[in-house]
Structure formats: structure tokens, C-alpha cells
Structure 1
Amino acid sequence: MKRIVLSGTGSGVGKTTISTGIMKALSDEFKIQSFKVGPDYIDPSYHNCATNIPSRNLDSFFMSDGQIRESFINGMKQSNAKYGVIEGVRGLYEGISPVNDIGSTASIAKSLNAPVVLIINSRSLVRSAAAMILGFKALDPEIQIDGVILNNVKSQKHYLKTKTAVEELTNTPVIGGITRNPDITMQQRHLGLIPAVERETIKDMVEKWGELISENLDLDMIREIMENSDNNINSEDTTPIWSPNTTKTKTKIAVPFDEAFNFYYRENIEALEANNAKIIYFSPIHDEQLPDADALYMGGGYPEIFKKELSENKPMLKSVKQFSEDNHPIYAECGGLMYLTKSIDNMPMVDVFNYESNLTKKVQGLSYTIAQVTQENPILPVNTEYHGHEFHYSKVEYTGNNPNDFAFKMKRGVGINGMYDGLLKNNTVASYIHTHTACIPEFAYNFTQKALE
């Protein structure tokens, strides 16, 4: 399974533009399976546009080494891809700890025994670029840095000087350089890039990135690095990322997917389908009522950006509230939580939970999370501990004082009130925590069983 990790020396070096462009350029000739390191929904949406194959996430805080290999192998097999291209997160060695690999791009490279290409912001750098690369290579000799991409070069002269310094002083080939170009900068908002689903011009933009890469990088060298990657990923040294299905009874799970709600891990959907769930997509903005379903799984997204459209769709708000009052299982994450509150910035919402949610100027939660289950809920039994992540510029104005209002006690992270998360009512649980089936292998089985009940 030929593979490569595209990592950066830090955030903001152009990883997503360059990685997506490489995926697009290679996809013109080969089938490419894309992956993203870390808890990210938005970058994978750009990968999808480049490859026309769903991108997948790899994360060593969520996953054991065996689950990382399982997820990678499953993705490659399902897409029948020739190459696996993995975009890193932040800097190569950045993770949850200052001294170990957990949550880092480096941990994924080591789990998959994958070669790394390092992307550098080479603005104003020549010989110092070589010093930077030597430091990255020396920190962990297990990491195989097989190439360098120079971003933000000033001119051809600057590129050639830096290329000479890197290749002669570090013995590492330079794959190419990208000149400074404000036209390829991507628009951002408070959670990062704008999701591809909101951008009608995304295909044209990704096409331009692919052309940029084809003109400035040596794609044959990238392929050669992948072809020379050690093929020895032991398919027996893997760990399942979801529990096997033990029932033949089918259920129907409604899943919102539109401009407001589109944050889902591909494996979470696959886990539900593996447990005999039929996924029925709908739009809380454009549809007037829920589809015929047994349960509702509401992911995150940007409901605060589309609060007016959501609030004006009164029939849908009523339909979702009735669904909860009828005791159907609902599991909601972050944006889904906000939608189920009384209001978002005073715009009326579903009102399953009679608390207001408001957008804030500062980030309220940005962390990997660890939660302890304290109350019965549709996804996990009491006393289970599980991992997740949170990233939100909003706050639910919880005015109660009863721990029994919540399903989860926070051991790491902020949650709703600094101590608890997972508001409970009827058979509905809604929290700021995003999770991945690898953290909760029994998630899909438990949720479909609740739907059957």
C-alpha cells in the first residue's frame, strides 16, 4: 500500500493547499485515497473535491496503533486506491504532549511506516532552511524525511539558492517550490477554513491548485518516494475501530447534511451502516420535516452562520422537537447541540433544552477531551471513559445546578459548564464533544439498539 505523509514545520505553511493540489494532480492519472491527521472535518472536504473519494481521519489520541493501521488499510481497500496521501496537522511533531508523539503527525508516520515530505515556509530563508530540516531529522531518527517542498519562495533565484542549501547540507531532495501567490489563499472563519460544501467555486479552485502543483513540483519524485515506501504494513497487526454487528434487524438513522451541518467522520457513518443502519440524509434548512427514521444523529457544523435560515424553518424545528418528545434516540455534537437549544443568538431553535446558546468572540473550548459517562444515554453505558475533542466559539447558557442534567463528566476539556457535558432529556443527549468510532467502538451498535428499542 503505497503511501506518503505531507507534513509541515508548523501551522500556516500551506499544507492544505499543497496537499490538496498534490491529491488533485495525482488523481488526474491515478486513484488516490486521501487522509487527514487529527480532528478535522474541513480539510477532508477539500480532499474529497480533489479525489472524488471520501477522505478519512487518522489520530493517535483517538486510535491505537492497530486502529490507525486498520483505518488506513480499510480506506485503501474500499477505494481500491493506488496511493494513499496523508495530510498532516500543525507541525510534524506537534501533539497533545511536549515530549511524546500522541496526537502528532509523527505518530501516524511511525504507525504506518510511511515516508514524510516536509513543507517549509521558506520566506526569507536560504541556509536556515537547511538548519531547520536537520533539526527535524535529528529529533526522531525513526521519522523518514524523504523530501522537502519550499513554499513562499520569492523568485526562481531564491528557490535555486535554497534548493542548493537544502540538498547539499541535509542530503534531502527538494521536490519543488511554490512562489508567493495571494490568489491561492483560502478564506477562513472562526473554526478554520470555510467547508467545501458552502463554496460553489471549490471545484475550480482545487483545479487551479492541481495545475499549480503540476507546474511547480516534481510529481514523478513524489510517486517515486511512495513507490519506495516499505510495503510492510502488517494487516494482522490491526485493531477494529467498531464493534461487529450482532443483529440482523435494520434501522433508519436520519443525518442532517447541508450548509449548516456537515461535520462527520466517515468511519462513524460506516460503523452505523455496518450495524444495519440505513442512513437518510436531509437538510434542516431546506426540508420541512424529518424523514421517516428511528433515530437522529446530528453532527456539527456552522448553525450559527445559518441561524436565520434554520430559525425560519418552523416546520422542521417542530418536527425535530416532536421526534425528541416521542422518545426517539437523538445524539448531537456541538452544532447539533446548539440547534437543540432554545435559541442561537436570540434566534429561536428547536428548544429541546430550554437554554440559550450564543456565539462568542473568543474560543470557549479547544482541546482533546476525556469524559466519564455518568448517566444512561443512547450511545454509552454508565462508567465508560472515552476520548473526543471540542472546538467551539459558542457557549450554552446553562442556568441549572443539577449534575443529573448531564450524561458526561469532563476529565479533560471544558464541555458545557467546565465540569459537565452531554445535556440529557427524553432519549436525547447533546454535547460539545465530537467523537470518533475508534474512541467508542460500541457507539454504532449501542445507538442502533436504542433505535430498535
Structure 2
Amino acid sequence: MSISRFVITGLSGGSGKTIVSLGLCREFSRRSIDVRPFKKGPDYIDARWLGIAAGQTCSNLDPHFLPMERIRSQFAHYSDGGELAVIEGNRGLFDGKDEHGSCSTAELARQLDAPVFMVLDATKMTRTAAAVVAGCATFEKNLNLAGVILNRTAGERHRSILEKSIRTHTDIPVLGMLPKIRNNPIPERHMGLVSDSEYDAEGYKGRERALDAVADLIRDNVDIDAIRSIADQSPDLPAAAPLWPETTPEKTVRIGYVYDDAFWFYYRENLEALERAGADLIRLSLLSDEPWPELDGLYVGGGFPETFASALADKTVTREHVRALSEAGVPIYAECGGFMYLCDALEFEGATYPMAGVFPVTTSFCPRPQGLGYTCSEVVAQTPFFNVGDELLGHEFHYSHCVGEAESSDFALRMKRGGGMIQGMDGLVRGNTFAAYNHIHALAVPDWATRFVAAAETCRSGR
């Protein structure tokens, strides 16, 4: 396959690579280029912003979940028909799961044969920047470090010394120098960038103006044409195996998925896997009074239930309806924020808010992360969604912790890596309802969608 492409990376989190990635996606999109955005690693928020900036849904490329041949299939599938693929890395360029950098952004760039542009925070740095760039360029073999973008530069004199130092001591071109930004158009908070849906009271127009401001910053300070020219030199990739089966079964069940301002953490592949397994997906909201249609299954993803706790608590009829669905045996699958909603209550900033009450526990929001990183768990109890003995690769990122009494027999997952809910256990089960802090990726758990649909078919036939 042939598509122009590049990877944006940094030395660490907070280097500015997300702002650069957003600005480039937006600016190329404003130039009527069909941009296909990708985010490396387990991330919902950056991926959502990248998708909005590019005008195309973003896909996560995660070598922790999938072998590289499947990553190449995923990349080929979602970039097909596009003109330019923009891939934002995560953490530092060479950071991976171990001292060898397995699953790093550098490894992903090599596998996709993509040029890499590094965003370097130049705060209080001059000639040392050249040493950093030179070191990154030679640290690993077969890495195409094609340019550097200097971030948080202090002024013309600072920029001049930086540019001359890198030009003198390396052969890596400086493709941009960004000034310090006093007011970030897209600020951060506890889980990363502020959600676009919460950006400000202006909603859609507010987020569009913010992205245009970022694009203007990049346009005025980065050599956009040079980046495109380098991306256009990307070699053709070998043909990849199909990502999905060629045939899709008839839709036999109706599965609702909650997608609103409070709950929107879904991998596109999870929803597509359900559709390809035979589900008719119905988009729902827990913040609306609109009645729901009859459902054969329910999927409640992650999100920010804590910032919408009052509004969720006020929807008493909806909370009672979700609890009734669970009690009726409708298969319900919930992840992280979805789990928080299915509990008795949610504690946030000194107040306690009633939730759906499916599980007799409470979640309490904390100022620091309570679970962060990749997970590996063993299925130790039967659920509609997994077989006992299955090993699940996933990730967790939550600031709340679980409060209450729960028997070990109530849990379906024993954590081999990761915190889970209580004492190394995760995945509370009640009837056909499963809820965990753990997030999964459907391509890494290929039986999940088919089992979910099968459980929904059993529910439908029983009704």
C-alpha cells in the first residue's frame, strides 16, 4: 500500500507533541488534504481530539495489544483511501515496556517505515539541544529521524542559537520553532487534555476555534511544506492481511452503547467488532430523558462520570431502568466510568451521588491516579463475555477507587499486572452484568464481541 505518513514524538510526556500533532492534522485538513489520524498507545482523549482536528475518526495503534503484523493490517485498513497519515506517539520516543524499548514509538515507526519528527522542549537549553538530537538520531538503528520541532523557545536570540547548534552538530533539519504559549488553547486536567465536550459553554464552536488557534500556531512557526514533502517520500508498505473477515453476518440483536458527554471512551474497533459479529448498535445517553428502545444488550464505556455526577444522579428514571435491565438478565458490559455508574454511589469533591445501584459498592474520586498502565488478568469466573482461563491484555487509568465489601467470588478477573478494584481483583459480576476498571481492545480479545452478541441473542430468544 502507498500513503504519505509520519510520526510525531517527543522525549517524554509533556513535550508538546499532542499540540503539534493536533495543529498539523488541522492545518493539513484546512488545506483539503484527507488526513487519517492515529494515536500510538492506550489513549481515548488525545485520539478524540486528533479525530476532530483531522475530520476523520482516529484509531489507536498499540503494540502491547497486537503483534506488528496485525498493527500493519490495522494501519492499512484505516488509512485506506487517505492522502496523509499522522501518527502521534506516546511517552518518549524510545520508551517501551522494558529496558529494550519493546512496544516503543520508535519500534512502531520502524515497522510502518515512517519518518519521525521529534518535538523537543527547549526550555532553558541551547547547544545541549544538538547533543540530544544527535543522540536520538543514532541511539537505535534503522530509525528515520527526519526533523525536529523546537518547543517553548524564548525569543529570536534563543531560537537562533538552537537552530545554529543543531545545524552545526547534526544533519537533522530544524522544521519549526514554537514560542512559549501563555494560554494553551486546549488546557489539561487530571486525565490529560480537557474533553472536547466540556471545553466551554460554546461547545462545538468553542472547540473548533481552539483547534484553529493551534493550527494557526503551527502554520506560522513550522515548515508545513517540508513536512509534507518528507512524508511524501515514505516508501510503499508490503500488502497487509485483511483486518476483518470479508463477510459480516446479518444483524440479529440490538445492543445499546452509551455515548454522550459523560461516557465516550470507546475504541472504534470495539464497536466495529460488535457490528461485524451481528449487532445493530443503538447510540444512547445517560444524560437525556429520551426513552430507550428495547435492548438485547448494553455497553457502557469509560469517560468522566465524576464531572457529570450531579446530572447523572438527577436522571432517576434512567438509573432505575439500567438497574432493571441488569436484574432482567440483559447482558451489560461496562468499563471504568461505566463501572462507576453501575455502583451504588459516586463520591466526588465532598459530595455523594446515587448511581444505578447494580453493584453494592461505591467509587470515590481521588486527587492522584489509583490505576495507571497496561494490565494482564486471568478470567477466574464465568461471564457471558469471557471463558474461564482466558488471559486478557488491557489497560487501566482511573482516579477513583472502589469502596465497600465484596466477596472474591463476585470478581471474574485476577490481576497479574495492574491494580484492579480490590486486593488484586477486578471485574465484578452479577448475573449477566460485568463491570471492570480494565479496558480491553476488541482486536486483542477476538472472542469478546462474538460472545457478547451470542449472550444478547440468548436474551432476545428468552424474551
* Matched letter for residue 302 of structure 1: F
1:303 to 264, 282, 305: 305
Aligned to 2:96: 95
Aligned mates of 1:328, 1:335 — CA distance in 2: 19
Map 1:232-243 → 2, pairs under 5 A = 233-236=237-240, 238=241, 240=243
| SS of aligned partner of 1:182 | coil
| SS of aligned partner of 2:439 | coil
Say whether 1:445 aligns with 2:450. yes
Q: Determine if contact 1:244/1:275 at 8 Å carries over to the other structure.
A: no
Q: Determine if contact 1:331/1:378 at 8 Å carries over to the other structure.
A: no
Task: Report Cα offsets for 1:337-382 as digits up to 9, x if no partner.
Answer: 0100000012111011011111122221112000111112122211
Aligned to 2:222: 217
Aligned to 1:124: 124
Query: Is there any run of 5+ residues in structure 1 with no aligned partner, and where?
Result: none
Map 1:28-427 → 2, pairs under 5 A = 28-29=30-31, 30-77=33-80, 80-102=81-103, 104-184=104-184, 186-199=186-199, 200=203, 201-231=206-236, 233-236=237-240, 238=241, 240=243, 247-345=249-347, 346-401=352-407, 403-427=408-432
| SS of aligned partner of 2:90 | strand
Shift of 1:249: 4.3
Shift of 1:440: 0.5
Higher relative contact order (CA 8 A, sep 6+): 1
Aligned mates of 1:217, 1:404 — CA distance in 2: 57
| SS of aligned partner of 1:91 | coil
Q: Determine if contact 2:47/2:59 at 8 Å carries over to the other structure.
A: yes
| SS of aligned partner of 2:89 | strand
246 and 180 in structure 1: CA distance in 2 versus 1, 3 angstrom threshold = closer
398 and 52 in structure 1: CA distance in 2 versus 1, 3 angstrom threshold = same
TM-score w.r.t. length of structure 2:
0.93
287 and 105 in structure 1: CA distance in 2 versus 1, 3 angstrom threshold = farther
Q: Determine if contact 2:186/2:210 at 8 Å carries over to the other structure.
A: no
Aligned mates of 1:3, 1:367 — CA distance in 2: 28
Task: Report Cα offsets for 1:13-69 as digits up to 9, x if no partner.
Answer: 111111100000111120000001111000111112211110110111111101111
Shift of 1:99: 2.4
Aligned CA-pair RMSD: 1.5
Shift of 1:428: 0.5
What is the total number of aligned residue pairs between the two structures? 446
Task: Report Cα offsets for 1:306-345 as digits up to 9, x if no partner.
Answer: 1110011001001101111110111100000010000001
Q: Determine if contact 1:398/1:416 at 8 Å carries over to the other structure.
A: no
Task: Report Cα offsets for 1:395-428 as digits up to 9, x if no partner.
Answer: 1114123x22111111100101132110000100
Q: Determine if contact 1:330/1:378 at 8 Å carries over to the other structure.
A: no
Aligned mates of 1:185, 1:134 — CA distance in 2: 32
Aligned mates of 2:368, 2:157 — CA distance in 1: 42
Query: Is there any run of 5+ residues in structure 2 with no aligned partner, and where?
Result: 459-463
185 and 98 in structure 1: CA distance in 2 versus 1, 3 angstrom threshold = farther
Aligned mates of 2:74, 2:423 — CA distance in 1: 32
